[in-house]
Amino acid sequence: MITFHQATSADLKCILAFDHIAQHDHTREICLQQAIDSGTLTTIRQDSKIIGYYIVEQHFFSHHFLSLLYIKPKVRNQGIGSQALIHILQQYQHVPKFFTSTNLSNSPMIHVLKKAGFQDSGIIYHLDDNDPELIFCYQPDTRRANKEMSQNT
């Protein structure tokens, strides 16, 4: 069973053990600690073991933004990212727009986002060399309205 818990400083060591980027990039570790301190990092657990995490902030033009969703490599491709995304969208169903981004090279995440109803919203070049950042937007009211319209036709 997958559960979600607000992260504490005690969780950081476990996260660092499987986050391959944080193992090589000290700024990622600092980012994670800041997210824990601000209460924006949530752990994803399976049988009480941390298998991933996500960070939702409200710094993207004053909109909520999923800045990071990370699943432990050993448990990827099992639907955990999709489950986490569903959970996140339920938590933020009250907001009119919810944004996230991913690299063009991250086709599994792009697939998960599209399946969840996210729409293309833009592209940013030059953040990562030769790998543009794609911006996506989820609008719960628009999604519901489109669903209702398709059911009525």
* pLDDT, mean over the chain: 91
| Domain locations in the chain as residue ranges | 2-152
pLDDT band at 142 (very low <50, low <70, confident <90, very high): low
pLDDT exceeds 90 at position 87:
yes
Q: Which CATH architecture has domain 2-152?
A: 3-Layer(aba) Sandwich (3.40)
Q: What is the pLDDT of residues 25-66, one digit of tens each?
A: 999 999 999 999 999 999 999 999 999 999 999 989 999 999
Q: Quick one: tokens of 83?
A: 């489950």
What is the predicted pLDDT for the residue at 145?
43
What is the predicted pLDDT for the residue at 146?
45
Count of C-beta atoms within a 10 Å radius of residue 3: 11
SS3 of the chain: the string is CEEEEECCHHHHHHHHHHCCCCCCCHHHHHHHHHHHHHCCEEEEEECCEEEEEEEEEEEECCEEEEEEEEECHHHCCCCHHHHHHHHHHHHCCCCCCEEEEEECCCHHHHHHHHHHCCEEEEEECCCCCCCCEEEEEECHHHHHHHHHHHHHC
Q: What is the pLDDT of residues 109-134, one digit of tens each?
A: 999 999 999 999 999 999 999 999 99
pLDDT exceeds 70 at position 153:
no
pLDDT band at 141 (very low <50, low <70, confident <90, very high): confident
